[in-house]
Amino acid sequence: MIRRYIVPRMLEALKDTPVVFLRGPRQTGKTTLVQHIAQEYYPAEYVTMDNVAALAAARSDPRGFIAGLAKPVVIDEVQRGGDLLLLAIKEDVDRDRTPGRYILTGSANILTLPRASDALAGRMQVFTLWPLSLSELTEGEPHVIEALFGADFPASLRTTYSEIDVFARIAAGGFPEAIKRESAQRRRAWFDSYLTTILERDIRDLARIQDLVAAPRLLALLAARTGALHNQSEVSRASGIPHTTLSRYMALLETTFLIKTLPAWTPNLGKRIVKSPKLFMTDTGLACHLIGIGEDSLRDRGEIVGRLFENFVVMELFKLASWSRDLVRLFHFRAHPGTEVDVIIEDGSGNVVGVEVKFSRSPSAKDFSGLKALASALGDRFVRGILMYPGAEWIPFGRNLYAAPVAVLGALRRREVFLTGFFGAMDARRVCVVALGAWQQLEGELTSHDENFPPYRFIRLLDIFDATRSPAA
């Protein structure tokens, strides 16, 4: 099982929150993850609303169904049970506020369902499991967001990287099952099946829409426009879908995590601000499938490659933010006339890191014009500006301005690379085994689920060494 970096934060929430909700696109591994948590870290019963008998019981008598479950309990695909099941969970939590009683999952965002948001307000912490991130696929640095804001940046990250095959990564996407497919043809077949399931099951269940003929056409159009400002009128004209129907479709596509909007940042900078959100596909592999291009054809395309590269970087940042120790929010910024920054990362204190995305191996000073304008406007609130590009080197472009290789989003941590390089892979592995054994003798047992807890760092290193020696690697 690929290690998911969101687990430590979920385990923390289970210590003080009655309900933990793990949402995200279908087929991102939510079921596998919560079953793993229930088996390895937090013993709990498991029930899924994909089971016909369980679903029938939950819908016919929600209160009785909840009362009959042993706690703590995992309820998978909870949105299928409807509002009344969520209200029954609320009533049970109000009677017993013990932390960690419920772990819920959903392939639709239940916070958009009628009454659901009010029902569990103040009782639930929400996490989003996106498709696999570059850092999860490479066993890389999970805390890039913290590093971007850190005082020791960029020393906290490596200074050189091997270039990643951007075209292959964009075309493959991050869905675990799609990545496993050995050929582009098999991957296309998987995406076809995936879309059919979403449209025929999830969207139909949520909205009771019978005519879904326009949905695939709309998705393909949105994929081709990824990274653009969302203009409802333009999309309505291009798709032939009336405004009111389009609004309903767009809400459903976001509820089922097929699309992701990046809201506009609207600070008080004395400028006329563009307030429209930018729209992205949640997975670049799915976007390529909808557009009808594969890895080979990506290498020969122009503007669409830049759009998909931006889509890739933006979604990687959303993934990194989902498990960041520091709560941050992501926006885009565009002002009249012409000043824009692709991504604004704002922390809880109002400090900002700006990120530009440029599909060029030769970034230039003019590519930093938006970041420089932002730095001038924000003063001390501006922490630094980063231009993500598909190269291999950090390049300074002035005070707190850097061109950064996109591989920084998934590179191995410096300490781990140093350890392996200094001792050699097998000797380093023995060092970790001895250190872990010594810690266990001193402490008796592993009592923390924090990934920075020393034993877990050693365990993670052992996983990396073993993976590099396996035939699959």
Query: pLDDT digits over 261-279, tens only?
Result: 999 998 766 566 788 999 9
SS3 125: strand
Cβ(382)–Cβ(367) below 8 Å: no
Q: Is 325 within the bounds of a domain?
A: yes
Compute the average pLDDT of residues 248-269: 89
CATH number at residue 94: 3.40.50.300
Q: Is 240 within the bounds of a domain?
A: yes
Confidence (pLDDT) at 471: 39
Are residue 356 and residue 435 in the same domain, yes or no? no
Are residue 285 and residue 432 in the same domain, yes or no? no
Q: Is 230 within the bounds of a domain?
A: yes
Are residue 259 and residue 362 in the same domain, yes or no? yes
Q: Is 370 within the bounds of a domain?
A: yes
Burial class of residue 16 in the structure, from the number of CB atoms within 10 Å of its CB (0-12 exposed, 13-18 middle, 19+ buried): exposed
How many structural domains is the chain composed of?
3
Model confidence at 464, pLDDT cuts 50, 70, 90, reads very low
pLDDT digits (tens, 9 = 90+) for 378-434: 999 999 999 999 988 889 999 999 999 999 888 644 434 333 333 443 454 555 555
Cβ(90)–Cβ(120) below 8 Å: yes
Last residue of a domain, one of 77, 100, 128: 128
Last residue of a domain, one of 366, 390, 409: 409
The answer to whether the peptide bond before residue 337 is cis (omega within 30 degrees of 0) is: yes
Check pLDDT > 80 for residue 465.
no
Are residue 99 and residue 220 in the same domain, yes or no? no
Confidence (pLDDT) at 457: 52
Are residue 259 and residue 330 in the same domain, yes or no? yes
Q: Is 1 within the bounds of a domain?
A: no
Number of H helices, E strands in the chain: 22, 14
Q: Is 340 within the bounds of a domain?
A: yes
Model confidence at 297, pLDDT cuts 50, 70, 90, reads confident
The answer to whether the peptide bond before residue 72 is cis (omega within 30 degrees of 0) is: yes
Are residue 435 and residue 313 in the same domain, yes or no? no
Phi, psi of 273 (to 5 degrees): -105, 135
- Pairing mode, strands 278-281 and 124-128: unpaired
Cα separation of 186 and 188, whole Å?
Answer: 5
Are residue 215 and residue 301 in the same domain, yes or no? yes
Domain residue limits at 63: 7-128
Q: Is 68 within the bounds of a domain?
A: yes
Q: Which pTM does this prediction carry?
A: 0.85
Which of 106-115, 206-215, 259-268: highest mean pLDDT? 259-268
Compute the average pLDDT of residues 363-388: 95
Q: Which residues are paired to 23 by β-bridges?
A: 106, 128
Are residue 343 and residue 219 in the same domain, yes or no? yes
Are residue 141 and residue 284 in the same domain, yes or no? yes
Are residue 111 and residue 174 in the same domain, yes or no? no
Compute the average pLDDT of residues 285-291: 96
Are residue 139 and residue 172 in the same domain, yes or no? yes
Lowest-pLDDT range of 13-22, 196-205, 290-299, 418-427: 418-427
Confidence (pLDDT) at 5: 96
Q: Is 351 within the bounds of a domain?
A: yes
- Pairing mode, strands 278-281 and 328-336: unpaired
Are residue 328 and residue 223 in the same domain, yes or no? yes
Query: For the chain, what is the mean pLDDT?
Result: 85
Last residue of a domain, one of 128, 160, 192: 128
Residue of 241, 331, 237 whose CA lies nearest to 280: 331
